[in-house]
Amino acid sequence: MVEIQKSTPDIDQQTSPSPPRLLSEIAYERIKDAIRDADFEPGQHLSETQLSKLLGISRTPVREAIHQLAQEGLLQIIPGRAVTVASLSIKEVFNAVHVRTILEPEVVRLAAASISPEEVEKLFGVLQEMEAGLDDEDRTAWAKADSQFHEILSAACPNKLLGDMAIQVRNRVSYLASDNQTSQKRMLACTQEHRQVVEAIAAGDQQAAEQAMRDHIDLLRQSFFRRLTHS
Protein backbone atom coordinates (compact mmCIF):
# COMPACT_ATOMS: atom_id res chain seq x y z
CA MET A 1 0.00 0.00 0.00
CA VAL A 2 1.26 3.45 -0.92
CA GLU A 3 2.26 5.55 2.06
CA ILE A 4 2.16 9.32 1.81
CA GLN A 5 3.06 11.51 4.72
CA LYS A 6 -0.16 12.74 6.32
CA SER A 7 -0.88 16.33 7.12
CA THR A 8 -0.18 17.35 10.69
CA PRO A 9 -1.18 20.35 12.81
CA ASP A 10 2.42 21.56 12.70
CA ILE A 11 2.14 21.82 8.93
CA ASP A 12 -1.44 22.99 8.62
CA GLN A 13 -1.09 25.71 11.25
CA GLN A 14 2.41 27.04 11.16
CA THR A 15 3.70 29.09 14.06
CA SER A 16 6.26 30.90 11.93
CA PRO A 17 5.61 34.45 10.69
CA SER A 18 4.96 33.15 7.16
CA PRO A 19 1.30 32.60 6.28
CA PRO A 20 -0.10 29.06 6.72
CA ARG A 21 -0.11 26.91 3.62
CA LEU A 22 -3.42 25.97 2.09
CA LEU A 23 -4.39 22.32 2.45
CA SER A 24 -4.90 22.17 -1.31
CA GLU A 25 -1.24 23.18 -1.78
CA ILE A 26 -0.09 20.46 0.61
CA ALA A 27 -2.26 17.86 -1.15
CA TYR A 28 -0.97 19.03 -4.54
CA GLU A 29 2.68 18.72 -3.55
CA ARG A 30 2.32 15.30 -1.92
CA ILE A 31 0.32 13.77 -4.78
CA LYS A 32 2.78 15.25 -7.27
CA ASP A 33 5.71 13.81 -5.30
CA ALA A 34 4.06 10.38 -5.27
CA ILE A 35 3.67 10.51 -9.05
CA ARG A 36 7.18 11.85 -9.57
CA ASP A 37 8.72 9.18 -7.33
CA ALA A 38 6.65 6.42 -8.98
CA ASP A 39 4.68 5.62 -5.81
CA PHE A 40 1.69 6.06 -8.12
CA GLU A 41 2.23 4.37 -11.48
CA PRO A 42 0.98 5.49 -14.92
CA GLY A 43 -2.58 4.28 -15.50
CA GLN A 44 -3.23 3.66 -11.79
CA HIS A 45 -6.76 4.52 -10.66
CA LEU A 46 -7.10 6.96 -7.78
CA SER A 47 -10.05 8.50 -5.98
CA GLU A 48 -10.71 11.55 -3.87
CA THR A 49 -11.69 9.31 -0.94
CA GLN A 50 -8.53 7.19 -1.22
CA LEU A 51 -6.25 10.22 -1.44
CA SER A 52 -8.08 11.98 1.37
CA LYS A 53 -7.45 9.03 3.69
CA LEU A 54 -3.81 8.65 2.63
CA LEU A 55 -3.08 12.32 3.16
CA GLY A 56 -5.27 12.94 6.18
CA ILE A 57 -6.79 15.91 4.35
CA SER A 58 -10.47 16.50 3.60
CA ARG A 59 -11.82 15.83 0.12
CA THR A 60 -12.38 19.43 -0.99
CA PRO A 61 -8.70 20.48 -1.01
CA VAL A 62 -7.79 17.08 -2.46
CA ARG A 63 -10.27 17.72 -5.28
CA GLU A 64 -8.65 21.12 -5.94
CA ALA A 65 -5.22 19.49 -6.06
CA ILE A 66 -6.46 16.83 -8.49
CA HIS A 67 -7.79 19.48 -10.88
CA GLN A 68 -4.50 21.38 -10.77
CA LEU A 69 -2.49 18.23 -11.46
CA ALA A 70 -4.84 17.37 -14.32
CA GLN A 71 -4.21 20.79 -15.85
CA GLU A 72 -0.49 20.07 -15.70
CA GLY A 73 -0.97 16.70 -17.39
CA LEU A 74 0.03 14.51 -14.44
CA LEU A 75 -3.48 13.18 -13.80
CA GLN A 76 -6.37 12.42 -16.11
CA ILE A 77 -9.97 13.00 -15.07
CA ILE A 78 -12.32 10.64 -16.88
CA PRO A 79 -16.03 11.46 -17.25
CA GLY A 80 -17.82 9.78 -14.38
CA ARG A 81 -15.28 11.24 -11.92
CA ALA A 82 -12.68 8.49 -12.31
CA VAL A 83 -9.11 9.72 -11.89
CA THR A 84 -5.99 8.00 -13.21
CA VAL A 85 -2.30 8.78 -13.22
CA ALA A 86 -1.49 10.03 -16.71
CA SER A 87 -0.17 7.34 -19.02
CA LEU A 88 1.53 8.98 -21.98
CA SER A 89 1.65 7.59 -25.49
CA ILE A 90 5.02 7.26 -27.19
CA LYS A 91 4.29 10.41 -29.18
CA GLU A 92 3.41 12.34 -26.01
CA VAL A 93 6.64 11.20 -24.33
CA PHE A 94 8.76 12.45 -27.22
CA ASN A 95 6.76 15.67 -27.45
CA ALA A 96 7.59 16.30 -23.80
CA VAL A 97 11.27 15.49 -24.37
CA HIS A 98 11.30 17.86 -27.35
CA VAL A 99 9.97 20.68 -25.17
CA ARG A 100 12.57 19.86 -22.52
CA THR A 101 15.26 20.21 -25.20
CA ILE A 102 14.03 23.74 -25.85
CA LEU A 103 13.50 24.86 -22.26
CA GLU A 104 16.10 23.27 -20.01
CA PRO A 105 19.32 24.33 -21.75
CA GLU A 106 18.10 27.92 -21.49
CA VAL A 107 17.18 27.40 -17.82
CA VAL A 108 20.72 26.24 -17.15
CA ARG A 109 22.30 29.03 -19.18
CA LEU A 110 20.42 31.68 -17.22
CA ALA A 111 20.95 29.93 -13.90
CA ALA A 112 24.71 29.72 -14.49
CA ALA A 113 24.88 33.51 -14.60
CA SER A 114 23.02 34.16 -11.36
CA ILE A 115 23.18 31.04 -9.19
CA SER A 116 24.39 31.51 -5.62
CA PRO A 117 27.30 29.59 -4.05
CA GLU A 118 24.77 28.01 -1.67
CA GLU A 119 22.73 26.67 -4.58
CA VAL A 120 25.83 25.29 -6.27
CA GLU A 121 26.70 23.54 -3.01
CA LYS A 122 23.19 22.07 -2.91
CA LEU A 123 23.63 20.75 -6.45
CA PHE A 124 26.87 18.98 -5.52
CA GLY A 125 25.14 17.58 -2.43
CA VAL A 126 22.29 16.20 -4.52
CA LEU A 127 24.80 14.60 -6.88
CA GLN A 128 26.29 12.79 -3.89
CA GLU A 129 22.79 11.58 -2.96
CA MET A 130 22.28 10.27 -6.50
CA GLU A 131 25.61 8.42 -6.32
CA ALA A 132 24.67 6.99 -2.91
CA GLY A 133 21.34 5.83 -4.34
CA LEU A 134 23.21 4.00 -7.09
CA ASP A 135 25.63 2.40 -4.62
CA ASP A 136 22.69 1.21 -2.49
CA GLU A 137 20.65 0.19 -5.58
CA ASP A 138 17.89 2.41 -4.21
CA ARG A 139 15.95 3.72 -7.20
CA THR A 140 13.55 5.73 -5.06
CA ALA A 141 16.38 7.63 -3.37
CA TRP A 142 18.05 8.21 -6.72
CA ALA A 143 14.81 9.46 -8.30
CA LYS A 144 14.16 11.90 -5.44
CA ALA A 145 17.67 13.30 -5.70
CA ASP A 146 17.30 13.54 -9.49
CA SER A 147 14.11 15.57 -9.09
CA GLN A 148 15.73 17.81 -6.47
CA PHE A 149 18.57 18.46 -8.91
CA HIS A 150 16.21 19.82 -11.56
CA GLU A 151 14.15 21.73 -9.00
CA ILE A 152 17.25 23.52 -7.68
CA LEU A 153 18.28 24.47 -11.21
CA SER A 154 14.82 25.76 -12.08
CA ALA A 155 14.60 27.73 -8.83
CA ALA A 156 17.98 29.31 -9.65
CA CYS A 157 16.72 30.48 -13.04
CA PRO A 158 15.98 34.23 -12.87
CA ASN A 159 13.04 33.73 -15.25
CA LYS A 160 10.59 32.07 -12.86
CA LEU A 161 8.02 31.32 -15.55
CA LEU A 162 10.62 29.50 -17.63
CA GLY A 163 11.83 27.53 -14.61
CA ASP A 164 8.31 26.54 -13.61
CA MET A 165 7.43 25.44 -17.15
CA ALA A 166 10.57 23.32 -17.37
CA ILE A 167 9.70 21.49 -14.16
CA GLN A 168 6.09 20.90 -15.20
CA VAL A 169 7.15 19.34 -18.51
CA ARG A 170 9.87 17.26 -16.87
CA ASN A 171 7.46 15.89 -14.28
CA ARG A 172 5.34 14.36 -17.04
CA VAL A 173 8.09 11.93 -18.01
CA SER A 174 10.30 11.84 -14.89
CA TYR A 175 9.20 8.31 -13.96
CA LEU A 176 10.84 6.95 -17.12
CA ALA A 177 14.30 7.91 -15.84
CA SER A 178 14.29 5.49 -12.91
CA ASP A 179 11.57 2.87 -13.34
CA ASN A 180 12.31 -0.85 -13.37
CA GLN A 181 13.03 -0.82 -17.10
CA THR A 182 15.85 1.70 -16.70
CA SER A 183 19.23 0.04 -16.41
CA GLN A 184 21.70 0.79 -13.65
CA LYS A 185 24.15 1.70 -16.40
CA ARG A 186 21.83 4.39 -17.75
CA MET A 187 21.22 5.81 -14.27
CA LEU A 188 24.99 5.99 -13.71
CA ALA A 189 25.44 7.77 -17.05
CA CYS A 190 22.63 10.17 -16.17
CA THR A 191 24.34 11.01 -12.89
CA GLN A 192 27.61 11.70 -14.69
CA GLU A 193 25.79 13.93 -17.19
CA HIS A 194 24.31 15.89 -14.29
CA ARG A 195 27.79 16.32 -12.82
CA GLN A 196 29.04 17.82 -16.09
CA VAL A 197 26.24 20.38 -15.91
CA VAL A 198 27.08 21.32 -12.32
CA GLU A 199 30.82 21.55 -12.93
CA ALA A 200 30.22 23.93 -15.84
CA ILE A 201 27.91 26.04 -13.69
CA ALA A 202 30.42 26.08 -10.84
CA ALA A 203 33.07 27.29 -13.32
CA GLY A 204 30.74 30.09 -14.43
CA ASP A 205 30.74 28.78 -18.00
CA GLN A 206 27.22 29.45 -19.29
CA GLN A 207 27.86 28.05 -22.75
CA ALA A 208 29.35 24.80 -21.47
CA ALA A 209 26.51 24.40 -18.94
CA GLU A 210 23.90 24.96 -21.64
CA GLN A 211 25.58 22.44 -23.96
CA ALA A 212 25.95 19.87 -21.17
CA MET A 213 22.22 20.03 -20.46
CA ARG A 214 21.41 19.80 -24.16
CA ASP A 215 23.64 16.73 -24.47
CA HIS A 216 22.01 15.19 -21.38
CA ILE A 217 18.50 15.52 -22.75
CA ASP A 218 19.57 14.22 -26.16
CA LEU A 219 21.05 11.11 -24.52
CA LEU A 220 17.87 10.77 -22.48
CA ARG A 221 15.82 10.95 -25.69
CA GLN A 222 17.97 8.22 -27.25
CA SER A 223 17.51 6.03 -24.17
CA PHE A 224 13.72 6.50 -24.24
CA PHE A 225 13.68 5.75 -27.98
CA ARG A 226 15.49 2.44 -27.54
CA ARG A 227 13.17 1.44 -24.71
CA LEU A 228 9.86 2.51 -26.15
CA THR A 229 10.49 1.29 -29.69
CA HIS A 230 12.44 -1.83 -28.61
CA SER A 231 15.16 -1.02 -31.11
Model confidence pLDDT, tens digit, residues 12-66: 444 444 455 788 999 988 998 888 766 788 888 998 888 999 999 999 999 999 9
Output the pLDDT for position 7. 53
Output the pLDDT for position 72. 81
Overall average pLDDT of the 137-147 stretch: 90
CA dist 48 → 11, 29, 53, 132 (Å)? 21, 15, 9, 36
Q: Report the predicted TM-score, pTM, of the whole model to 2 decimal places.
A: 0.77
Please count the CA atoms within 13 angstroms of the CA of 192 that sit on its side-chain side: 7
Output the pLDDT for position 15. 42
Q: Which residues pair with 100 in a beta bridge?
A: none
Higher pLDDT, 74 or 208: 208
Task: Confirm if 128 and 198 have CB atoms less than 8 A apart.
Answer: no
Q: How far apart are CA 30 and CA 64, in angstroms?
A: 13
Output the pLDDT for position 123. 97
Q: Is the C-alpha dihedral spanning 45, 227, 3, 25 positive or negative?
A: negative
| Residue pLDDT, tens place only, 152-205 | 999 999 999 999 999 989 988 887 887 777 889 999 999 999 999 999 999 999
Task: Give the pLDDT band (50/70/90) at residue 10.
Answer: very low
Output the pLDDT for position 74. 85
| Residue pLDDT, tens place only, 84-122 | 988 888 998 999 999 999 999 999 999 999 999 999 999
The residues, ordered by sequence, that sit 6+ positions from 109 with a Cβ below 8 Å of its Cβ are 206, 207, 209, 210
Output the pLDDT for position 11. 40
